[in-house]
Structure 1
Amino acid sequence: MKKSFKLIVGIATVILFCLMIYSYFIVSGDEIIGVSNITTTSNVVIRKSYLGVTNEQEYLLNANQIEMLKTLILQSDFTRNLSTAVRFNDKDMYTIIIKDSEANVWLNIDCIGNEWISIANQFNGKHLRINNPNWKKTLEEIILLSN
């Protein structure tokens, strides 16, 4: 009886440890501080640029686009990267700036195409790998509605 109890406790401990590691490395969109506060009255701008090119395009989002962006973030998940530097192939760069008239800028998300995001003052400044294969496509669809 004692051996089976120790075995059950040991297995439960290993499972709990694995779940803790998994929950640390996998970040859901609702874990990003400030996303739940995005409203259709927020001032949301997406700046698009290309690596090595100095000019950038800026898109001010309307209420529908803001809802689409919020949904994209909340329905995506990301993987923490422990390194301070990341390698990437995509040359499209996006900066999502979300602010209110009272609170000023309260969420700033830098994206490297469909590969990485970085959020100022969150996740120790580390990049998060985007696990949503439609991230960039959806961002582009949101931007296209601005035209």
Structure 2
Amino acid sequence: MKKQIVILLSIVVLSVISFTSCEPFLVNKIIVRNLAADEVQINLRAKTYIIPSGETLVLNDLKKGTFQYNSTYSIPAGVTETETEGEFEGEVVLNAGTEILFIYRSSLLDNKYKIYIYKTSSDDVNRTDPFEN
């Protein structure tokens, strides 16, 4: 009886070690860095996040999936014209271990505010799905 308990306990301990050793590689993360002159907002997974100018938002432990996002921005005082460049709305695809980085930048010239968004992903864009075909 004692030998069976030792064997069972050993199996449980080895199983726990095996499952937890893979965990750090499966974390999905979204980073939103606001380098624009005023605050930006990103709507993602039915929640609005407000990121003040100069701040960074980090969302950890996101589940795998495809999610829609939408961005809005505030305009500095005195601006008479605006222009955008980049994907202010779209989708993000989170596979196991994906990191997505959004960077907002802006320029202000002659009362014209231009805001840019850059989106990058750690996933290989040429990756083929082994289960597809």
Structure of greater Rg: 2
TM-score, structure 2 as length reference: 0.37
TM-score (ref. length: structure 1)? 0.35
The structure carrying a bigger strand percent of its residues is 2
